Structure 1
Amino acid sequence: MNSFQTIAGIALVTVSVMAHGGQWYKGDLHNHSLHSDGDSSVADVIASAESRELDFFVLTDHDGDMNGEPTHWWDPEYQSSSMILLYGVEWTTGDGHANVWAEQPYDYAPLWQAHQNSDPQAAVDAAHTAGALFSINHPVRLDWKYPVPTGVDAIEVWNGAMLINDNFHASNDFWDDALLQSGTKITGVGGSDTHNLEGILSPFQGHGNPSTWVYAETPTPQGILDGIKAGHVSISATYDDYRVELDADADGDGNFEAMMGDTVFANGNEVDFRLNIAGSGSGTGDMVQIPSSIVKAIDGSGKLKFWDAVWMSIQIALMENTDDLRMVMVVKNGDAYTGWLTSGGVDEINFSDTPNAGSKGYYRVEVFGEPKVKGLNKIIFAFRTALTNPIYVNY
Structure 2
Amino acid sequence: MRATRGGCRRPLPGRDLARRGPRRARDGMGARDVRSLVAMELSTGLSARVTHAYNGVTRVSDGTLDSGGSLMQRRDVLRLSALAGAAGVLTLDPMTFTQADAAGPADDHEQTKTLSGHLPTGAPDFVYVPVEVPRGVREIAVSYTYDKPTVPAGTQGNACDIGIFDERGTELGGRGFRGWSGGARTEFAISAEEATPGYLAGPVKAGTWHVVLGPYTVAPQGLDYTVTVTLRYGAPGTPRTPVYPPQRARGRGRAWYRGDSHLHTVHSDGKRTPAELVAAARAAGLDFITTTEHNTTSAHAAFEGLWGDDLLILTGEEITTRNGHVVALGTDPGIFIDWRYRARDNRFGQFARKVRQAGGLVIPAHPHGTCVGCNWKFGFNEADAVEVWNADFTPDDEVTISEWDNTLVAASRGQGRWLPAVGHSDAHREPQVVGLPQTVVLADDLSRTALQEGIRAGRSWIAESSKIDLTFEAVGGRGQHAGIGERLKVGGAEVVTVRLKVSGVGPGCSVRFITDQGQLYGTAVPDSGTLTAEWRTTASYAAYVRAEVRHAPADGGASGVPGPMAAMTNPIWLGEH
TM-score clears 0.5: yes
Q: Which residue identity does 1:161 align to in structure 2?
A: D
Matches within 5 A, 1:32-47: 32-47=264-279
* Aligned twin of 2:401: 172
Q: Which residue identity does 1:243 align to in structure 2?
A: D
Q: Which residue identity does 2:507 align to in structure 1?
A: D
SS at match of 2:462: strand
Deviation (angstroms), 1:355: 2.1
* Aligned twin of 2:468: 242
Question: Gapped runs of 5+ residues in structure 1?
Answer: 1-20, 281-322, 372-381
Deviation (angstroms), 1:186: 1.2
Contact 2:281–2:434 at 8 Å: present in 1 too? yes
* Aligned twin of 1:272: 497
Structure 1 residues 115 and 107, CA gap change in structure 2 (3 angstroms): farther
CA distance in structure 1 between the aligned counterparts of 2:361 and 2:289, rounded to whole angstroms: 15
> Does 2:194 match 1:194?
no
CA offset digits 1:248-297 (Å, max 9, x no partner): 123x2335x211111223332222211111456xxxxxxxxxxxxxxxxx
Deviation (angstroms), 1:48: 1.6
Higher-helix-fraction structure: 1
Of the two, which has the highest radius of gyration?
Answer: 2
SS at match of 1:363: strand
Where in structure 1 do 4 or more consecutive aligned residues deviate above 6 Å? 113-116
Deviation (angstroms), 1:128: 1.9
* Aligned twin of 1:136: 364
Structure 1 residues 76 and 58, CA gap change in structure 2 (3 angstroms): closer
Deviation (angstroms), 1:149: 2.1
CA distance in structure 2 between the aligned counterparts of 1:192 and 1:124, rounded to whole angstroms: 22
CA distance in structure 2 between the aligned counterparts of 1:105 and 1:124, rounded to whole angstroms: 17
Deviation (angstroms), 1:370: 6.4
- Which of 95-104 and 129-138 deviates more? 95-104
TM-score if structure 2 supplies the norm length? 0.49
CA offset digits 1:354-382 (Å, max 9, x no partner): 1228xx922111111369xxxxxxxxxx6
Q: Which has the higher contact order (CA 8 A, sep 6+)?
A: 1
CA offset digits 1:48-75 (Å, max 9, x no partner): 2122221111111111xx3xxx111122
SS at match of 1:208: coil
* Aligned twin of 2:566: 385
> Does 2:342 match 1:159?
no
Structure 1 residues 328 and 127, CA gap change in structure 2 (3 angstroms): same
> Does 2:286 match 1:54?
yes
* Aligned twin of 2:446: 219
Structure 1 residues 245 and 120, CA gap change in structure 2 (3 angstroms): farther
- Which of 100-109 and 131-140 deviates more? 100-109
SS at match of 2:263: coil
> Does 2:347 match 1:119?
yes
Contact 2:321–2:339 at 8 Å: present in 1 too? no
Matches within 5 A, 1:364-375: 364-369=546-551
The size of the alignment, in residue pairs, is 302
Q: Which residue identity does 1:188 align to in structure 2?
A: A
> Does 2:22 match 1:22?
no
Question: Gapped runs of 5+ residues in structure 2?
Answer: 1-252, 412-416, 554-562
CA distance in structure 2 between the aligned counterparts of 1:31 and 1:122, rounded to whole angstroms: 25
Deviation (angstroms), 1:104: 3.9
Deviation (angstroms), 1:120: 2.5
* Aligned twin of 1:73: 300
Deviation (angstroms), 1:112: 4.9
Work out the percentage of aligned pairs sharing the same amino acid.
Answer: 28
CA distance in structure 2 between the aligned counterparts of 1:231 and 1:107, rounded to whole angstroms: 26
Q: Which residue identity does 1:138 align to in structure 2?
A: H
CA distance in structure 1 between the aligned counterparts of 2:303 and 2:503, rounded to whole angstroms: 36
CA distance in structure 2 between the aligned counterparts of 1:248 and 1:80, rounded to whole angstroms: 37
CA distance in structure 2 between the aligned counterparts of 1:86 and 1:115, rounded to whole angstroms: 27
Higher-strand-fraction structure: 2
Contact 1:258–1:391 at 8 Å: present in 2 too? yes
Structure 1 residues 36 and 334, CA gap change in structure 2 (3 angstroms): farther
SS at match of 1:324: coil
TM-score if structure 1 supplies the norm length? 0.70
Structure 1 residues 330 and 46, CA gap change in structure 2 (3 angstroms): same
CA offset digits 1:316-371 (Å, max 9, x no partner): xxxxxxx83321101101621211123144431121111228xx922111111369
Cα RMSD for the two superposed structures: 2.5
Q: Which residue identity does 2:549 align to in structure 1?
A: V
CA distance in structure 2 between the aligned counterparts of 1:149 and 1:78, rounded to whole angstroms: 38
CA distance in structure 2 between the aligned counterparts of 1:122 and 1:187, rounded to whole angstroms: 22
CA distance in structure 2 between the aligned counterparts of 1:107 and 1:383, rounded to whole angstroms: 37
* Aligned twin of 1:14: none
